[in-house]
């Protein structure tokens, strides 16, 4: 396969959260590992791995660029959050939200990043007001589309309308590939059973999800009453109901729809839950997704984003490095690099 494209590979350091949390790997260890794994681009969640964020000490900035040079990596993206509920008794005003994101833009620029993954609860008019700052610092504001939302969801459609009006490359989307979950991650269903879910319910969840027959209320932000009733009917406890809701909060969208919105898509999270020894992902059909990105002329990064640790850490050792390695081998194959 050698279709011409300009898609680049990266990794979100989020993928190493287990080892970092447990202090088994330092930030430098992680960056050194990305070199060993031959992953060119680096994405970081500053709140996760930069102590004191949003105040980044100058000596950290120096160290960061030193690591990028030493290990030959390219800083790509930071992931921001807008903690609009952090002041007691009130929510942040629009001006405060704008100031908070402006600070992220300046910080991204300090770290050499050209993309910010914008958390998915920022309104279009706020992003629009930030366009001049984004332009000034050459940082794209890429709001994350994350399951259960997709391009055709309500907020995303309002954003598209604004993108079309403003016509700026600095206002765009990050797409999380977790919107293409074709099979329920078995690591999650197995965890539910270890946590006490009746096996018949876990099996039902997997079979119903995979066959597209899981009851759904299809309303964002509303509890899936139909599924709750079904789990109770099967003898499930309230804990089972909670796990079933959390564990099936996924969608299997149509990859072809990406084509229409490709001009607005600047960044991609290559979400994965379980890379198998044969270099395929258990739940997400990458072989049906990457060709669409190539066809549509996507030219940003695909950053590996491992999110399986939370499902297995109770019973198995987590080896994020090996999972990321397998994911990158798969990306290289699908991108025709090897």
Q: Which residue ranges make up the site for other proteins (CB under 8 A)? A: 14, 17, 20-23, 45, 47-49, 51-53, 81-88, 119-121, 221, 310, 313-314
Select 14 or 209, whichever has its Cβ closest to other proteins. Answer: 14
Select 155 or 292, whichever has its Cβ closest to other proteins. Answer: 155
Select 45 or 268, whichever has its Cβ closest to other proteins. Answer: 45
The minimum distance between CB 72 and other proteins, in angstroms, equals: 26
Select 70 or 87, whichever has its Cβ closest to other proteins. Answer: 87
Select 217 or 299, whichever has its Cβ closest to other proteins. Answer: 217
Q: Cα–Cα distance between 144 and 168 in angstroms, integer?
A: 17
* β-strand pairing of 171-176 with 41-44: unpaired
Which residues, including other chains, have CB under 8 Å from residue 129's CB and lie 6 or more apart? 98
Q: Is 117 helix (H, G, I), strand (E, B) or coil?
A: strand
The minimum distance between CB 135 and other proteins, in angstroms, equals: 26
Select 61 or 119, whichever has its Cβ closest to other proteins. Answer: 119
**Distance separating the N- and C-terminal Cα atoms of the chain:** 9
User: Cα dihedral sign for 15, 139, 130, 264?
Assistant: negative
Closest CA to 243 of 220, 227, 259: 227
| 76 within 8 A of 43, measured Cβ to Cβ | yes
What are the two backbone dihedrals, phi and then psi, of residue 143, each rounded to the nearest 5 degrees?
Answer: -65, 135
| 60 within 8 A of 28, measured Cβ to Cβ | no
The minimum distance between CB 48 and other proteins, in angstroms, equals: 4
What are the two backbone dihedrals, phi and then psi, of residue 89, each rounded to the nearest 5 degrees?
Answer: 80, 5
The minimum distance between CB 90 and other proteins, in angstroms, equals: 11
The minimum distance between CB 113 and other proteins, in angstroms, equals: 17
Q: At what angle do helices 286-295 and 320-334 cross, to 10 degrees?
A: 50
The minimum distance between CB 291 and other proteins, in angstroms, equals: 31
């Amino acid at each position: 396969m050698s279709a011409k494209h300009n898609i680049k590979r990266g990794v979100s350091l989020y993928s190493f959260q287990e080892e970092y949390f447990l202090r088994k790997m330092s930030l430098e260890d992680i960056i050194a590992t990305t070199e060993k794994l031959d992953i060119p681009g680096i994405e970081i969640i500053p709140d996760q791995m930069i102590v004191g964020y949003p105040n980044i000490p100058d000596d950290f900035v120096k160290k960061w660029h030193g690591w990028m040079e030493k290990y030959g990596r390219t800083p790509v993206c930071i992931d921001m959050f807008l903690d609009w509920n952090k002041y007691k008794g009130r929510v942040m005003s629009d001006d405060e939200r704008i100031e908070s994101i402006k600070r992220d833009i300046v910080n991204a620029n300090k770290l050499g990043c050209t993309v910010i993954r914008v958390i998915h609860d920022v309104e279009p008019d706020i992003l629009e007001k930030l366009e001049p700052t984004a332009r000034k610092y050459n940082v794209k504001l890429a709001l994350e589309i994350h399951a259960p939302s997709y391009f055709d969801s309500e907020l995303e459609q309002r954003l598209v309308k604004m993108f079309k009006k403003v016509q700026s490359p600095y206002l765009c989307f990050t797409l999380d590939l977790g919107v293409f979950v074709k099979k329920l991650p078995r690591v999650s269903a197995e965890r539910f059973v270890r946590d006490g879910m009746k096996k018949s319910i876990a099996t039902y969840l997997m079979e119903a999800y995979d066959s597209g027959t899981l009851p759904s209320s299809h309303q964002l932000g509303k509890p899936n009453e139909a599924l709750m009733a079904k789990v109770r009917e099967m003898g499930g406890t309230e804990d089972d109901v909670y796990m079933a809701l959390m564990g099936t909060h996924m969608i299997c969208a149509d990859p072809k729809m990406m084509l229409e919105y490709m001009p607005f898509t600047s960044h991609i999270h290559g979400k994965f839950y379980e890379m198998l020894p044969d270099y395929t992902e258990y739940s997400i059909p990458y072989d049906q997704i990457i060709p669409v990105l190539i066809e549509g002329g996507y030219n940003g990064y695909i950053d590996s984003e491992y999110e399986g640790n939370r499902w297995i850490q109770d019973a198995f050792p987590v080896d994020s490095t090996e999972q990321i390695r397998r994911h990158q081998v798969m990306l290289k194959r699908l991108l025709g690099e090897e």
